[in-house]
Amino acid sequence: MPTFVSPIWEAMEYDFRSIEARWQDYWRKEGTYLTRQDQSRPKFYVLDMFPYPSGAGLHVGHPLGYIASDIVARYKRHKGFNVLHPMGFDAFGLPAEQYAIQTGQHPKLTTEQNIARYREQLDKIGFSFDWSREIRTCNPEYYRWTQWIFIRLFQSWYNSELQRAEPIEKLIERFANEGYDATQPGALSGNIESELHSFTAGEWQSMSEREQSDILLHFRLAYLSEAWVNWCPALGTVLANDEVIDGRSERGGHPVERKRMKQWSLRITAYADRLLDDLDHVEWPESIREAQRNWIGKSEGTTLRFALEKADHIADDLSDAFVEVFTTRPDTVFGVSFVTLAPEHELVQSITRPDLREAVNAYVLQATNKTERERQAEVKKITGQFTGAYVRHPFTGDPIPVWIGEYVLAGYGTGAVMAVPAHDQRDFLFAQHFGLPIKEVVSGGNIAEYAHAVKSGVMVNSDFLNGLTVIEAIPAAVREIELRGFGKGKINYRLRDAAFGRQRYWGEPIPVYYQNGVPHVLPVEELPLILPEVDKYQPTESGEPPLARAESWKYKGEFEFETTTMPGWAGSSWYYLRYMDAGNDTCFASTEAMNYWREVDLYMGGAEHATGHLMYFRFWTKFLFDLGCIPVNEPARKLINQGMIQGVSALVYRIDGTNTFVSAGLREQHHTIAHHVDIHIAPNHVLDLEQFRLWREDFRDAQFILEDGVYHCGSEVEKMSKSKYNVVNPDEIIAEYGADTLRLYEMFLGPLEQSKPWSTQGINGVSNFLRRFWRLFRIVDGKANLNDAVGSPAELKVLHKTIRKVEEDIERFSFNTSVSAFMICTNELHDLKCDKRSVLEPLVVLLSPLAPHMAEELWHALGNTGTVTAATFPKWDQQYLTEHEFEYPVSVNGKVRFKMKLPLDLSKEEVEQVVLSSDEMRRFVPDPPKKVIVVPGRIVNVVV
């Protein structure tokens, strides 16, 4: 590290080590960042997506978003806002539990250790978090309220006439008075209760508790049902759709299969429309909103029933049976040449003709036994099986064969499609493969070659639809279908209800117990339901979740508790509310606090949460809004996704079968195998040979083929990870350059939202800048040595220009350019040899959001008392910025030829005259010009 002797003013050099320690200590002792409710000031809520504290600690990519949001938080304080800027930990989750299974250590213990390490790392960066509001999702005082919200979900249903959640009592009342008509669900419409049969009020009243409970589960927003789930055998748990990526678990990458299980779910589908529509009213990145729209996948269409044809093999009690399909193209109904059922469809068994039973069973078996991944991998392969049964075409009465095919998904629509091969690509391929008829009903395509699936053309061969365009025919067909009672207009969503139970230990217990097979929620006064201790974290021998190991854990010593726990996203779906009033033990946050802080004004976090966390976050907010608990319908007004910081790996090339390594430039001459090498033993990608030999046992005898006397490593930009030895830790950067330099450099790297590789090389630039800035203040013995004269016009121009630029840049989250503006300012003041207090002091406040430690030190060196973080942001003044002269670039036919300095108050005509009569003009344009364009204060363009 540098030891400093400065010959010029015997000034003290910038010693970040003592400065940063001193002020971090001061802020902690003074409680500088504690936030109080203050009705007299406008509020601003800046929130970071809280981290899951992993064992690996933070790398330099993690704080990127935190630094940006911290700058905004500090800036807003200078601007007079009362800022809420909290931090906490998403502390339940799989990795801690996997570790517990391996080591037997309680996940609580490892989680606490990891949090301590995170906290230590975060503290060194100088964030302005109000730690008195810290939350940990695994604390009973916190998850008590997560459980409370679950109970409220259980006690609510969604009234789709009112488009909001209501207490379940309202529904019970309705059943007791009116019963339920499955054909006219009214307020109960949606795709949620399709398996439920009609009943009268009298029938309802005479039902057993168990029967009533089962019916209500079809409506509760938290409900228990038999459903197809994503089962991950390696993790031993069910996963939600967003936790499965390419048929593998998001955590760990284990295969996932489909399994039918009794399972707690949340009815997020009830909110599909509101989740979709309200996307138009939030300031979120277009990519996130688009991802959510796709995820919700709204599509409008109609259901249509095809009555089953009687046949010898079909039982008499199926004489009224039908196949119901969902289609978005009812206009093509006269082009149906077969109907395809999903292999899991409930009718498959009962309609199969005896001679085909064996083939059908085999097909169904192979289809259901496939993992999600296998199924996706074989998407292009066309498979199917005829059942031997026929249905009747609702309009023509023609018999239509019923097939089963894997391309039909059980979970979407009705699990059955009407196949129109002429106008749907999948149906087309299926028909081609099995030699089924292809009938054109929309003109304009070439159905001998491919399906004409676009919505253009005129209807043909279609009875009452003939001659209409597709756009006209769709509503016409729906009208007719509804009129004749064949089906009903319907909206379908790709969005599925969210699996909520996890067969795991380290999560919030679901506050439910069972009495005679009926689930009951705990009375809220008895919350929290504490996670019990268990002897092992594995499932029981009989395959029950780990909580089943807690044998004496029973409600009132008698009733079994639910043994699954909540998923990782439960606690993070409402945490922003808890920060508003973190210590409250009578409710999750007081009404006063929530009416003051309302929603998050700026939410900062990674784009990977587009369809997971951010979806549930919005869902729970809307639900709590419906209950009247909170004043807002959306959790976050503005969302920014910080880009990922990638690592730059270093590679060495071993000649295959030897222990000789060849430098990157020469590797083409050999057959080599690339190995990752720790970037710390290859500074600037030049390998330290000695350290490399010591690095790993098997490299001890390594030989090298060098270029220019050194070994050049290859490099690759990839994700920062331990296994690639390319992790850069913020602590090492801070130890060497200081936290302010780290903060500034992360911002200087480029636009916040962009992904970019980390390169420690460029850090000297900002480090030099901070030292140059420091030197302007001529610090001796902790005191600045400046004079009290007024600034020169040039100095004042630099100052005011910089205030304006930095302010504008922070307002639009362009932090890289604000750092750059500061560098320009420092360079210019240096050139002007500025030593005026009146010019330099405002810059200290301006710098404070970006480099708070240095700003605080300089603030005090200037003789101020109290913290700089409370100082008012300086104001820029136009009078120092107004120019009187401008050097006009004069271009001829769009190419700049020369420049002329002219007063800015000249009129267009005067400028034109002066320019045209100049000597330079005559040199470049001998003849009179065709046209002259003068843009005052910008440019002169002469056309010849």
- Count CB atoms within 10 A of the CB of residue 178: 12
CB of 200 or CB of 287, closer to RNA: 287
Q: Which of 217, 291, 321, 705 binds RNA (CB under 7 A)?
A: 291
Q: Which span (225-233, 283-291, 454-462, 781-789) binds RNA, by CB under 7 A?
A: 283-291
CA distances from 904 to 608, 885, 899, 908 (A): 51, 5, 14, 10
Q: Which span (16-24, 188-196, 284-292, 902-910) binds RNA, by CB under 7 A?
A: 284-292
Q: Read out DSSP for 88-121? A: -B----HHHHHHHHHH---HHHHHHHHHHHHHHH
CA 777, distance to chain mean position in Å, is 44
CB of 106 or CB of 772, closer to RNA: 772
CB of 766 or CB of 840, closer to RNA: 766
Q: Which span (379-387, 442-450, 462-470, 667-675) binds RNA, by CB under 7 A?
A: 379-387
Q: Does 197 bind RNA (CB under 7 A)?
A: no
CB 473, min distance to RNA, A: 14
Q: Which of 217, 824, 832, 914 binds RNA (CB under 7 A)?
A: 824
Restricting to residues 341-370, which ones interact with RNA according to CB under 7 A? Answer: 342
Restricting to residues 745-804, which ones interact with RNA according to CB under 7 A? Answer: 748-751, 754-757, 759, 761-762, 764-766, 768-769, 771-772
Q: Supply 588's token pair.
A: 């999750």
Q: Which residues contact 509 (CB under 8 A, 6 or more apart)?
A: 147, 529, 530, 531, 532, 547, 561, 562, 565, 566
Q: Does 194 bind RNA (CB under 7 A)?
A: no
Closest CA to 488 of 307, 273, 308, 325: 325
CB of 53 or CB of 301, closer to RNA: 301
Q: Does 714 bind RNA (CB under 7 A)?
A: no
Pure H helices in 220-307: 272-277, 286-296
Task: Assess contact for 406 and 367: CB atoms under 8 A.
Answer: yes
Task: Assess contact for 767 and 83: CB atoms under 8 A.
Answer: no
CB of 155 or CB of 649, closer to RNA: 649
Q: Which of 782, 894, 926, 928 binds RNA (CB under 7 A)?
A: 894
CB 941, min distance to RNA, A: 4
CB 272, min distance to RNA, A: 12
Q: Which span (253-261, 378-386, 515-523, 837-845) binds RNA, by CB under 7 A?
A: 378-386
Q: Supply 585's token pair.
A: 């033990």
Query: Roughly how many angstroms between the first and final C-alpha of the chain, as a whole number?
Result: 63
Q: Does 807 bind RNA (CB under 7 A)?
A: no
Number of residues in contact with RNA under rule CB under 7 A: 88
Q: Which of 97, 242, 243, 562 binds RNA (CB under 7 A)?
A: 242
Q: Which span (46-54, 135-143, 708-716, 927-935) binds RNA, by CB under 7 A?
A: 927-935
CA distances from 430 to 366, 380, 390, 399 (A): 18, 11, 18, 19
Q: Does 814 bind RNA (CB under 7 A)?
A: yes
Q: Which span (86-94, 479-487, 608-616, 657-665) binds RNA, by CB under 7 A?
A: 608-616
CB 889, min distance to RNA, A: 4
Alpha carbons 135 and 143: distance in angstroms, whole number: 10
Q: Which of 887, 905, 919, 927 binds RNA (CB under 7 A)?
A: 887
Q: Which span (36-44, 148-156, 326-334, 548-556) binds RNA, by CB under 7 A?
A: 326-334
Type of residue found at 635? P
CA 705, distance to chain mean position in Å, is 46
Alpha carbons 184 and 166: distance in angstroms, whole number: 20
* Residue found under tokens 């009208």: 479
Q: Supply 138's token pair.
A: 């695994």
CB of 187 or CB of 476, closer to RNA: 476
CA 495, distance to chain mean position in Å, is 16
Q: Which of 191, 327, 385, 573 binds RNA (CB under 7 A)?
A: 327
Closest CA to 613 of 565, 566, 572: 572
Q: Does 282 bind RNA (CB under 7 A)?
A: no
Q: Does 903 bind RNA (CB under 7 A)?
A: no
Q: Does 929 bind RNA (CB under 7 A)?
A: no
Alpha carbons 93 and 704: distance in angstroms, whole number: 45
Q: Does 916 bind RNA (CB under 7 A)?
A: no
Q: Does 318 bind RNA (CB under 7 A)?
A: no
